[in-house]
Chain A
C-alpha cells in the first residue's frame, strides 16, 4: 500500500488515524524500505517556499527533488555547501533523491570537514510526529537558540521521530574557482599525515581524501581549496610547498577536472559495481589507516582527512568487531547486521525514550534505528 499526501494537513490526518508501521520514502534511493512494506511517499509535499539569496536562506518542502533545489541555487550562484552525495550508483538505485531524505539522513560529502554536515546547515524544520501533530522548530534565520534544537535531532533520525514536511537551510555562495593538490603513491598512514598537515594549515582546505586505488590504479591523495581565482592559485601553491615532503605533488586547477575528481570521491564512483557489503565508518582521522588495514576490504577510500572510511568488504564481515577504536560504522549496502552502530546502553536508552515520545505507536521506519 502506498500513501502520497499532497498537503501537510492531509499527512497529519493520515498519521493520526493509523497505528500500523509506515515506511517513509523520499526518492527511494537509499534502499532502506523493505519489500512489501506500507510506504508513505513524500513526493506530494514539494516546492520551494522561500529563497532569499541575499540572506543565504532557503525554505523548501521535504519532498522536493534535490536536483531541483540545486538547480534553483545554481541559478543564483549558490549551493548546498555540505555537498550531499549521490549514492545511486553504488546502491544500484534509480529514483530522484529528495531534500527531505538528505536532511533526515544527514547526508554530507567531502566538504563536511570544513563547512559542516547537513545538520549544521539546517535552520528549521516542520514535521508530523507519530500522533499526527504538526510541529515546528528552529526557523529561517541563521542564529537561533530559542528553545531546544530539535532541528539537529530530526536531522539524522532517518524519519524515526517524525515525517519532515519542510526544512529551512543556510546556503552559501559558489566559489569562483577551485583547485586540487594531489600527492601520488602514498600509503594510507602517510596520506593521513599529509592530509592532517593540509587541514592544519591556514589555507582553508575544503576536502581531503585518499584513494588507495585511484582512477589510474595507483594511490592518490587529494586536497581541495576553493575561493576566488587568485586565492586558489595562492593556496594551491602554498599547499604544494607544504606537501612536497610527502612525495611528488601535482596541482590541478581546471574546474571541470577538479569537479569530476571530487564527484568521484563524493559519490563513491570507484566503489560502484564492487561486490560485497558497503560500510561507512567514522573514526578519529589518525585511527583511519589502522582501521582500514584491519578491514580486509575488497576496495575502500578515505575522506575527511582519514576520518571517514568507505569500504566494500566481503559479505557478512563484522566491521564493527574489526574497528577496535572509538567511532561508528553504518552498513550502507548489505544485510544480516544492524544498519546503525549500536549505541552505549545509556545513549540507547535515551534514544529509545525519545522515540517513545515522538512516535509512541512505533510506526515510523520500525527497526531501522535503535533496537526496537
Chain B
C-alpha cells in the first residue's frame, strides 16, 4: 500500500498499532524523549510557557473528548479546573505530602463533582446542558467568596513551588511535571477513545435510543464522559495551581471557560492533537498580539483590547475557513494529498472521530 509497508520492521509496527495501549504508550515515550530534549535546551522562561501550554492542553483534551466523542457541551469547564486547583492547593497548604497526592486529590474531587453535574446532564441536551454548565461557571467564581474562611476569599491561597531534586531548576522541574501529566492524560484519553467505552459513547452520541436498544446504558455513559472530562480538568487545575503559585476566584472567570471551548474548537473537537493546537493558540496569540500592538499604538484603551479583538477574530475566521478546526483541516489536507481526490468529496463533519492514530492506515480492530 504505502512505502512504509515494504520497510523492514514495518509489520511489527503495524502490529503495534493494532494494540492501542502499547501504541499510545510508545508514542508517549517518544514524545517524552523529544520534550525532554526541548525543555533542556530552551530558556527557563520558555519552560514556564511550556508548563502553561501543557495545562491548557490537558483541559482542552478532556473537553474535546466530552464534545467530540460524547456530543455534550460544557461551557463551564473552568469550574472543574477551579475545583482541582483549590483541592490540590488546600492539600498543599495544610499537609506536607509528596506532590502527587494533592494533585490526585484535586483530580478526585473534580471527578466527583463532574459525576454529580453529569447526573442532571443525562437528561439534558445541547443548549440546556450548555445553560447549566454556564451557570456553574458563574457560581464557581462566587463560592470562594462565600466560604471565605476555607478558601480565603478573593485573596486566594498561596501555593508553594514544587521543590525540584538537586540541580534542576524549578521552572524546568515544573515543565517536566506538567508534561508528564499531559502525556499520561493523552495516553489515557487516546486509549479511552479506542476502548469499548469510547465506542459506546460514540454510539450514544449518534443515536441514544438505538444504543439503548443494543444494550448500552446511555445515561451511565454520559455521566462517565462528564466525570472523565471533569477529572482531566481537575488535573489541569492542579498543575495550574503549581504554575501560577496562587489560586483565587479571578483565575477561573467565565472567560477561562470560554477560552477552553474556543481552544478546543480552534484545534478541532474530538482530536487530541487538536487540543495542542488549541493550547498553542491560547498561549501564543495573546503574546504575539501584545508585542505587535506595543509597536503601533500607545493608547491604553486600544492596546488593552487588541488582544481580545484578535482572539475573537481568530475564532471567527477559523470557524468559517476550517470548520473542523486546525487538526481537521490538516488531516483533511493530508488525506486529499494521499488519495488525490477532490476537496468536496472529503469534507468531514464535526464531531470528528480523530485521535492520535487517525492518520494511520491500520484497520480498526475489535477486541477479541
Does B bind A? Answer: no
| B-to-A contact residues, CB < 8 Å | none
A residues neighboring B (CB under 8 Å): none
